[in-house]
Structure 1
Amino acid sequence: MKYLLQRIAFYLFTAWAAITINFFIPRLIPGDPVSSLINKYQGQISTEAIQSLYVLFGLDKNAGMWSQYVDYWQQIFRGDLGISFNFFPTPVSEILAQSLPWTIALVGVTTIVSFALGTGLGVIAGWRRGSWMDGLLPVTTFISSIPYFWLGLLAITVLAGADSFFPSSGGYEPGLVPSWDGEFIGSAIRHSLLPAFTILISSVSGWILSMRNMMVTVASEDYITVAHAKGLPERRVMVSYAARNALLPNVSGFALSLGFIVGGTLLVEIVFSYPGIGYNLFQAVGAKDYPLMQGVFLVITLSVLVANLLADIAYLLLDPRTRKEG
């Protein structure tokens, strides 16, 4: 319990630091962030409205820095992440609420499937080292070194086209309204196949390699020899003794992967113009939309911190030594 409380305290401090950095980002950028919005609507914003914009975006020069900082924390606790410049006057929280489900559905499902598939194959490959599966290791090593976006470009070139079943961009057919009807769901699934395929192929290889190497290391431990000497079934030794201990590093990596679900496949979403949070960040950078950039950064940071906390909890459950140290 002491260990867990220490980790929670650490993550709370890290979250505070991240939110504080997020607060200072637009205030440290050279120039005036609000001026980009004013220039966008040049001639349409009156002088009287300009001061209101500074107040609206929390950059009122008449208010002190501490007052702005306190107001920023109050906004976060209310779920108010500001107003987007590029999609003015749409709130950032509304934009993220629309894009997050797309990213979570695409990257979340593919991350879980690739982890389960890669870990399972890695357990078998490591336990039965020297078998035909070891011959596939150079292939998996090569594939795992290829970036997501490069596989995406190859997939579009080879599989997508005018008469192809696989669309090359977008999250659904133009003209459809997002809803839970069969036509829209079918279109969304079809548009997600190529991005999901590229993520799955690239990430599953890494899980196979890491789990295989850990299984080879664990298989030489004394407790595995003792388990064999007791006459325990081969499958039980492999799963309950070897795989459970070899899984610990992969659990940490899986938790981090869950954290990076939100922004880790930015380039994939850009390549496929997929309407996720990574594509939102790309649009925000291009339009100098500082509030949206802040919102995306905050969501990604908090997701990674929560994922790390879940990894620590998983360690507590899987490794008795951690509980004793706590």
Structure 2
Amino acid sequence: MEIYKSLKLDLNFKTVVTIGTFDGVHIGHRKIIERLVQTAKKSQLHSVVLTFFPHPRMVLQKDANIKLINTIEERSRILEQLGLDVLVIKKFTKDFSRLTAEAFVSEILVKQLQVKKIIIGYDHHFGRNRAANIDDLKAFGNMYDFEVEEISAQDINEVSVSSTKIRKALNSGDLKTANKYLGANYILSGKVVKGKGLGNTLGFPTANIHIKESYKLIPKHGVYIVKATIKTQTVFGMMNIGTNPTIDSNNQQSIEVHFFNFNEAIYNKNLVIELLDRIRDEKKFDSLDHLKNQLQKDRLTALQYIEKCHAQ
């Protein structure tokens, strides 16, 4: 997959395009991407996703608190796995939001993206103040010689999913619903950094994960069953997201993973952690012994889950 981070393109091929933020690349999004990729192959065109970053709400509503399901790197990786040919990441700015619908079509879709077909949802709006709709796009298609395939309300609503619903599920600790809507396991991507070594004293050494993107949604505090691929090896473990209230009083959030049957040094390694299931809320224990006993129970719960659901 080719990735472009501006609209200064020099494409020497015709394309089929879809447009959107695609945060989470959930099962509704996947339906659109699969249709896009199939159509491109059938029509001997290249499949293109035009996406935007930062999220338009961050720019237009100054909603700096919005948390996204994917970092832009995660989104790119998922789209590549779905067989996309070209990803164009347009920096979203206030100036860009003021572009008229016709300028957007003629300058970007036609001139830069070499569009021959657009696949888009029935409720798509675009251009300044999002004033243009699917009917306007079809009219532009007649003017500029490209086809518009509309994804019907029935097709989209059949998969009653939205990025907002997934964010709410993750914030409430409902990982099962989030993963079901995503059609994949929720992921956290970050670098392993040195922690305080407190896990070692409990017999549960942990890898401390630092996520640099402040906009990335961190699920509700608690203990999760996870897996990661480390040097081509699939490794399972359990992860705590929280403030370690039994041990620490500074109320600072950390993400710590204890991997099972794994003791290699992985400091400064970048890991992608898949969240498989949620065991419990984080809580404060009366003593370190009580915490250690609970960690043993969590470990047993995780291993039973892995044995049942992920037997090799």
TM over 0.5: no
Q: Which has the higher strand share?
A: 2
Q: Which has the higher helix share?
A: 1
Q: Which has the higher contact order (CA 8 A, sep 6+)?
A: 1
- Higher-Rg member (1/2): 1
TM-score, normalising length: structure 1: 0.21
TM-score, normalising length: structure 2: 0.22
